[in-house]
Amino acid sequence: RKEVEQDPGPFNVPEGATVAFNCTYSNSASQSFFWYRQDCRKEPKLLMSVYSSGNEDGRFTAQLNRASQYISLLIRDSKLSDSATYLCVVKGQAGTALIFGKGTTLSVSS
Amino acid sequence: GAVVSQHPSWVICKSGTSVKIECRSLDFQATTMFWYRQFPKQSLMLMATSNEGSKATYEQGVEKDKFLINHASLTLSTLTVTSAHPEDSSFYICSARDNRGHLTDTQYFGPGTRLTVL
């Protein structure tokens, strides 16, 4: 079983749509959780950290359910510029590397 | 935010040659750097953890004699792909761990190096 699994995608949505991505992780000892965004042929960039209480950053909302080992990302009012691959990422204790999911590709069209 | 550079950004080489990739933290010291590899349509896979002044720790299945890592200073780690073959063609990305003051355990990624072995 992969350490981090994500929706297979791709997601093709019109501008203005709301889209949700899901992710599960296998290591219950994971301590930190993130969503990264990766554009084609570029390095991943941190989109937001994910907390158990849930957190929101503008049109983006992230949720973490430790009991179910489940992470989600909701994007409201999709923009063309949101088109990218979204990577679910988990990490163990301080100093350890990030573990990446395979990513889910989002394509927003006009 | 902190900046991490990689050089070169892309390289094309012949099979059998060695390629060195540099990863630098530009405005902070990084005792730990990580090297990842990403094949097309795949996730980033950790290759090794590079610690300044000590030997790198390699992930299972990564040949330490083929992928030489040197972390000789607090701002520079190098990855050398020795005797590269076409199957080594990939996107190599480093990240540097920033553990200054209150910024504990934030990792910043370099822009990546695209290696193509002919």
Closest to B44 (Cβ–Cβ): which among A94, A95, A100?
Answer: A100
Closest CA to A107 of A80, A87, A88, A86: A80
Distance, in Å, from the CA atom of B103 to the CA atom of B84, rounded to the nearest integer, reads 37
Closest to A44 (Cβ–Cβ): which among B34, B109, B114?
Answer: B109
Average pLDDT, chain A: 92
Closest CA to B105 of A93, A87, A44: A93
Say if the Cβ atoms of B43 and A87 lie within 8 Å. Answer: yes
Residue B31 contacts residue B99 (beta carbons within 8 Å): yes
Distance, in Å, from the CA atom of B3 to the CA atom of B75, rounded to the nearest integer, reads 11
Compare all CA atoms of chain B with the CA of A87 and give the residue at the minimum distance.
Answer: B43
pLDDT at residue B104, as a whole number? 56
Segment B80-99 mean pLDDT: 93
Q: Could you report the per-residue pLDDT of A89-102, keeping only the tens digit for each?
A: 999 877 788 999 99
The answer to whether residue A51 scores a pLDDT higher than 90 is: no
Q: Could you report the per-residue pLDDT of A18-31, keeping only the tens digit for each?
A: 999 999 999 998 98
Average pLDDT, chain B: 91
* Burial annotation B10-36 (CB, 10 A radius, 16+ → b, else e): ebebeeeeebebbbbbeebebbbbbbb
* Sign of the dihedral through C-alpha B41, B46, B48, B50: positive
The larger pLDDT score, comparing residue B77 to residue A51, is at B77
pLDDT at residue B105, as a whole number? 67
Segment B9-37 mean pLDDT: 94
Closest to B43 (Cβ–Cβ): which among A95, A97, A101?
Answer: A101
pLDDT band at A1 (very low <50, low <70, confident <90, very high): low
The answer to whether residue B102 scores a pLDDT higher than 60 is: no
Segment B7-26 mean pLDDT: 96
pLDDT at residue B1, as a whole number? 63
pLDDT band at A67 (very low <50, low <70, confident <90, very high): very high
pLDDT band at B38 (very low <50, low <70, confident <90, very high): very high
Say if the Cβ atoms of A43 and B112 lie within 8 Å. Answer: yes
